[in-house]
Structure 1
């Protein structure tokens, strides 16, 4: 119990102490901060309850919301003096002593921030006064306009109202921008409030450190830190005031923009009924657009020439990059290629932009001409059609503008990357030049895109004005007028001439009627085929007697073997005849084509019917007697020959060809010709074997016997081969098939085996490295596959190596180029390594016998 009482008494005492401290803090007025922090050790001044007194840091009262420009100037002068005083006092030495240098004075940075915030507030004050004056002027102009009207007398030139429209459009954009700026200003105000809380915490922490400083601590440094914290809080509060001033200024800008937009709208409303648009004004606009077109065409020519030069330079740069063997220069060459590509892209993009600008100028010319007709009161003007077209044009301009803005964003991101790279002081001069050239090309492309954006913006403004002028006129038209306009438009559209061919006009009505007849014939044929398939054919198939076999075969031929080409030609002929699109001089040609196709279709039907009929007969006979069906193939062959002979004779008859003598000659001389041309027939069948079996084709390189060359032509009797020596070799198809044929065109890889020898004096370590050298050389070549390289044998005069690799592809010239490159590389590498190639040599070794005594005596005599 006693411990519980003691605990309660302890809590009561603690509460009384806290209450006393709180009452003391509330009783201390803000003016208690009566002196700035000095360099002499002293007890820190008490902090205010609300806000912070600038006198604590040696400053006068800071300007409030109603301060004037003179007040800001005086305060800035005091802050300048305070900055100078701090700089004169200098920074205290570092804790370690004079050898450790000095630390920056912590008061200087917040003083600079405070000066900058006050300068910004002074600038915003001047801007606010200007906007307030502009707002007063606009309100005065509105009152004058309502009371007295326009100062200018009508009629008003169209240039003047167009200028007002442009200013009104800018005012609307300014109002929209001000609305977006309001959101940013509000965010800045919120951030400033949070910053003040942070600065207050820093000030309280600095004050606590000074109050709790030990006797040995550097109180001067702690006092300066507290003063810096107070200055930082003052600067944060001024930044908050600056954010509020900016928010107020943004509100005022939005109000000015809206008032200016309303004033311009009122002026436009008073002027629009008394606008003058004369022929001279139109001619001036057309002349101006024509002059701009001429300038753009000159720029296109210049960019075309620049693009050609850039393309040539790009080709050279790529060749240098491909031939480069120095890895240290690879990066530079890649940047040069990128720079040339940027130059070429800028030229090509610029040409595209300028051509699009020409299209926009043509659209602007059309709009000006239509506006002239509108202001002249042209009753035949298709206003509804114009309104639809100008709406579609506005949508197109919006899409193209978004596309251009996306391209500009991409270009600017690359520009930023290049600028960051160019900021590197250690960049080599050659690399800097390449990057600068690439940046210049992107700058040129950016300028061209911005020019096109300007053209699109002008065209968009013109389209908007024309749409505003058209919309009320279209809406006021009566229903009868709209129906008449629609009928007139439909009649013009129906009788529109699409194109001219051989001095004959083709009209839309003829094209539509012809297309309708064409589709109708296609649908009728399709319906007839479906009727035969679903209604007639099932009945014929269900019949089992032999009388229905021939009709069933005919119906199957009609359903399954009707050529779509035949149907299309019939539909085309009917469409051309009904619509009147077929000229008289072309009628005979088209009719002849139709007759030929008709007889060909009859031949297809007859052949298919005969095939179906004979196949059914053969199946039935095969069940009875399998040996009786061996001649059906020959019968079918002769039936087909007979059918197509009739088709041929019918076609020739249509063209008035004398076929009586032809039939007699074929009947009498056929047998004699067959015996006379036995060899020719053998070659003909051989040619058929070549075509079906395809041992070679035209263009293949073949070797047959002692003949080798490229196949140029496969004829009925002979095949012609162009030999390597240049002459043409003609061979019989029979002889060609009777011999062995090597087709090198179908060779996928060429196996290459070669040997090389080195001298016997080559050291063993070099001999071990030679296969690896050769392997790397071969692998570095394109279109090759290395197989092996070995020390082959000891030759008579050399140490022999055998190398095997594959060339991918049948091209002999490629093989020779690769072999040459390998030989040159081996020669170069062997010279670098000091390896000598061997060549045939002989070595004589002379041995002397030991001298004898008798011969020595003889020599002495």
Structure 2
């Protein structure tokens, strides 16, 4: 509520202020002047009078509108001139004014001049608009006449005429492009003029407010003049907007005229180009002109060479004088003299470069003219496709060189501008001014020669464009056979192109392509071979039965998995270089040496990998049966690898023609010395080989050797470890082990058991006869036994002895003891049942006398 009430009060206060200002404005001289001149203002200016923009307020009649004629503009310009004169008279100082200080300039003069300038530009644009309109009408009429009646000249048309039309058409096309850019600039000027009107209107309102609020004692005349100047500024800005709009219209019309002219020239060229006459005489005349121009350029090159030599001598003298100079006052002059001599020398040298480039361009132009003549003569041997490509390349090169020349010209003009500004200094010394003028003259000469080269380049570029336009339709209309011939010629020139030179040997594109193709084919062939081996051959070898094709499978695996990529790349590179002929003699020898070394290394890798695979498969197959094979195969693999790489090393040294015989002899003597030094170790190593190959025992066998008995735990390179029955580990050298007698109980298939038992002498004979049968039945009742025999062996000292032989099936000692215990218990039990007594050691003393004595008795067993 409070904010709404404050808003209403603010609006009422603002309305009261505006009403007061309007009341005061009616009493100001500005309003009085408006009323005084209202009767002289035409009725058409009433809207401007309401806005305070009546030209009568600034002492001018009505300004010309958008459609005003040249006469109206001229009349207004005369009135503006009169008004300027009046303002100057009003601003003339009185006789008593101090002439030294001078009066301040009238602020109305500048906007009056701006207004006059805008009207002058409008008059010029009006004339230009009328000229363009007439040109457009004439061009349209010519276009209609060309369509209805054709060309006024009768065919055939000389080549010079169509070239002239081509040049005009090129200029018209460039003019149309420039008109499009001018059109964009005119749009920007129109927008800027619109914004300027707003700025001038603000200035006018600000000046009017200052006049209305001026104090009585202030200088109101000056304020009135400032207000009039602001009004003139508004009028001038509006005239500038009208001028910008007229400029935009003229730009539109210029673009339209240029496009119409380009279309007309295109139509004329289209009607002429099929009936052009190009005779040998025309060609000779054109070539004679080019030769004369080239001769003139050569003469200028000779003259410039002499001038350059003189400039170089002058530069040397100027530098000598500068180095010997001791006077600081002349140092600046001598420095500028050196710079002037350097500029003259650079101008001469650059000029020679420009002229030589012009000679090259003239030679290219001569070639284009000769080819055009052959083209118009319908030469069957003409290679149109190659001509089109070469002409396109020439046009591109000329475009790049033109940009470079334009950049050089921009740099030269910047330097010329800087020198011109320095020459504008009135306090410059005469000798310094002379040096600067010399330098500026050298830059001017260089600029002139660069512009001359630009003209030659532009002429050649135009000729190249015309030749391209003539070739394009012919190339597109050629028959298939002609296109094939052109393609063959183009491929032949491309195929036999020399790319670069290395060590005085040319490298051609055909060699590079051939080498690259062979390189890729070798890589592809190796990849396909590896894939064939891994997908076709290897599965068949793997599916074979155990024990068959192990060696071929190991070889295939080595080829597939262990073929070095470096080896393949080197082979491919050597093959590509050898086939393409890119290798010079010495480089080929080096590459062949590298290939041989890499080849033998690859053979070593293959052989080592094949041996490893083969032995690993053998070891894995027999490892479950023989745990000692792990260490045994490892030692064998070590010796095999040493042998393989020794062969590889000897082969490589043989390739390098190294004296292998001496090396082998030296190694033999050295080997003998080493053998004597480490004979014990070597003896153990060879003993380990004997153990591995002969296999007198294996890991896990129970052996007895000398006083040692136990289970074999490990067979090493030098020693064998045995776990004795008492628990300790006994380590024996392999040599000592093989030199002793070894009892291997692990390999015992049946254990032969022989034992004896005795019975007392008092045993009855029939029981003695039954004892072998009893024992045979007891032994046969035991499992894992085979009975051999049981006999009454002999009469012992204290017992009748029986010898029993049987076999325990298996080498297990615990089983043997279990069976023997069972047999002993069974014999004991059976003998007790039969009443047979076991004999035990006793002695019996028997005394014998000659006869019996009275009172004595016989002595029995003691």
For the aligned pair, the TM-score class normalised by the smaller chain equals 0.5 to 0.7
What does the per-residue CA deviation read over 1:319-364, in whole Å, with 9 as the maximum and x for residues that have no partner?
Answer: 2222223333333222221111111111111111111111101111
Q: Which residue of 2 aligns with 1:312?
A: 313
Q: Which residue of 2 aligns with 1:181?
A: 182
Q: SS state of the match for residue 606, structure 1? A: coil
Q: Which residue of 2 aligns with 1:300?
A: 301
Q: How does 1:470-489 map to 2 (within 5 A)?
A: 470-488=471-489
Q: How does 1:24-173 map to 2 (within 5 A)?
A: 33-35=34-36, 48-50=49-51, 52-91=53-92, 101-173=102-174
Question: Is 1:234 aligned to residue 285 of structure 2?
Answer: no
Measure, in 2, the Cα distance between the counterparts of 1:4 and 1:270.
82
Measure, in 1, the Cα distance between the counterparts of 2:665 and 2:318.
72
Pick the aligned partner of 1:555 from 636, 651, 656: 651
Q: Which residue of 1 aligns with 2:627?
A: none
Measure, in 1, the Cα distance between the counterparts of 2:87 and 2:243.
25
Q: Which residue of 1 aligns with 2:602?
A: 534
Q: Does the 8 Å contact 1:304/1:347 carry over to 2?
A: yes
Q: SS state of the match for residue 296, structure 2? A: helix
Q: Does the 8 Å contact 1:36/1:57 carry over to 2?
A: no
Q: Which residue of 2 aligns with 1:269?
A: 270
Q: SS state of the match for residue 581, structure 2? A: helix
Deviation at 1:187, TM superposition (A): 1.4
Deviation at 1:537, TM superposition (A): 8.1
Measure, in 2, the Cα distance between the counterparts of 1:62 and 1:373.
66
Q: SS state of the match for residue 329, structure 2? A: helix
Deviation at 1:302, TM superposition (A): 0.7
**Gaps spanning 5+ residues in structure 1: where?**
38-44, 499-505, 560-604, 627-861
Check 1:397–1:546 CA distance in 2 against 1; reply closer, same or farther (3 A cut).
Answer: closer
Check 1:149–1:609 CA distance in 2 against 1; reply closer, same or farther (3 A cut).
Answer: farther
**Gaps spanning 5+ residues in structure 2: where?**
39-45, 500-506, 515-576, 609-636, 678-862
Check 1:619–1:438 CA distance in 2 against 1; reply closer, same or farther (3 A cut).
Answer: farther
What does the per-residue CA deviation read over 1:6-42, in whole Å, with 9 as the maximum and x for residues that have no partner?
Answer: 97885464365367579999999999935569xxxxx
Measure, in 2, the Cα distance between the counterparts of 1:143 and 1:104.
60
Q: SS state of the match for residue 328, structure 1? A: coil
Q: How does 1:621-700 map to 2 (within 5 A)?
A: none
Q: Which residue of 1 aligns with 2:13?
A: 14
Give the TM-score taking structure 2 as reference length. 0.59
Q: Which residue of 1 aligns with 2:380?
A: 379
Measure, in 1, the Cα distance between the counterparts of 2:402 and 2:3.
82
Q: SS state of the match for residue 217, structure 2? A: coil
Check 1:311–1:126 CA distance in 2 against 1; reply closer, same or farther (3 A cut).
Answer: same
Measure, in 2, the Cα distance between the counterparts of 1:546 and 1:58.
120
Deviation at 1:466, TM superposition (A): 0.4
Q: Does the 8 Å contact 1:172/1:257 carry over to 2?
A: yes
Measure, in 1, the Cα distance between the counterparts of 2:206 and 2:94.
22
Question: Is 1:606 aligned to residue 657 of structure 2?
Answer: yes
Q: Which residue of 2 aligns with 1:760?
A: none
Deviation at 1:167, TM superposition (A): 0.4
Q: Which residue of 2 aligns with 1:203?
A: 204
Deviation at 1:516, TM superposition (A): 4.4
Question: Is 1:359 aligned to residue 364 of structure 2?
Answer: no
Q: SS state of the match for residue 214, structure 2? A: coil
Q: Does the 8 Å contact 2:26/2:32 carry over to 1?
A: no
Measure, in 2, the Cα distance between the counterparts of 1:58 and 1:471.
68
Q: Which residue of 1 aligns with 2:286?
A: 285
Q: Does the 8 Å contact 1:113/1:235 carry over to 2?
A: yes
User: Radius of gyration: which is bigger?
Assistant: 2
Measure, in 2, the Cα distance between the counterparts of 1:547 and 1:508.
47
Q: Which residue of 1 aligns with 2:846?
A: none
Deviation at 1:538, TM superposition (A): 7.7
Measure, in 1, the Cα distance between the counterparts of 2:473 and 2:439.
52
What does the per-residue CA deviation read over 1:545-591, in whole Å, with 9 as the maximum and x for residues that have no partner?
Answer: 999899655533367xxxxxxxxxxxxxxxxxxxxxxxxxxxxxxxx
Q: Does the 8 Å contact 1:336/1:434 carry over to 2?
A: yes
Q: SS state of the match for residue 327, structure 1? A: coil
- More off after superposition, 217-226 vs 90-99: 90-99
Check 1:230–1:310 CA distance in 2 against 1; reply closer, same or farther (3 A cut).
Answer: same
Q: How does 1:419-434 map to 2 (within 5 A)?
A: 419-434=420-435
Q: Which residue of 1 aligns with 2:218?
A: 217
Q: Does the 8 Å contact 1:307/1:343 carry over to 2?
A: yes
Give the TM-score taking structure 1 as reference length. 0.59
Measure, in 2, the Cα distance between the counterparts of 1:274 and 1:124.
42
Measure, in 2, the Cα distance between the counterparts of 1:85 and 1:545.
120
Q: Which residue of 2 aligns with 1:660?
A: none
Question: Is 1:452 aligned to residue 453 of structure 2?
Answer: yes
What does the per-residue CA deviation read over 1:373-401, in whole Å, with 9 as the maximum and x for residues that have no partner?
Answer: 11111122111111111111111111111
Q: How does 1:712-751 map to 2 (within 5 A)?
A: none
What does the per-residue CA deviation read over 1:88-117, in whole Å, with 9 as the maximum and x for residues that have no partner?
Answer: 222568999998642112222221111111
Q: Does the 8 Å contact 1:318/1:337 carry over to 2?
A: yes
What does the per-residue CA deviation read over 1:25-70, in whole Å, with 9 as the maximum and x for residues that have no partner?
Answer: 9999999935569xxxxxxx99844471111111111111111111
What does the per-residue CA deviation read over 1:580-611, in whole Å, with 9 as the maximum and x for residues that have no partner?
Answer: xxxxxxxxxxxxxxxxxxxxxxxxx3358689
Measure, in 2, the Cα distance between the counterparts of 1:285 and 1:224.
71
What does the per-residue CA deviation read over 1:717-768, in whole Å, with 9 as the maximum and x for residues that have no partner?
Answer: xxxxxxxxxxxxxxxxxxxxxxxxxxxxxxxxxxxxxxxxxxxxxxxxxxxx
What does the per-residue CA deviation read over 1:763-799, in whole Å, with 9 as the maximum and x for residues that have no partner?
Answer: xxxxxxxxxxxxxxxxxxxxxxxxxxxxxxxxxxxxx
Q: Does the 8 Å contact 1:94/1:101 carry over to 2?
A: no
Deviation at 1:288, TM superposition (A): 0.6
Give the total of aligned pairs. Answer: 566
Q: Does the 8 Å contact 1:156/1:276 carry over to 2?
A: yes
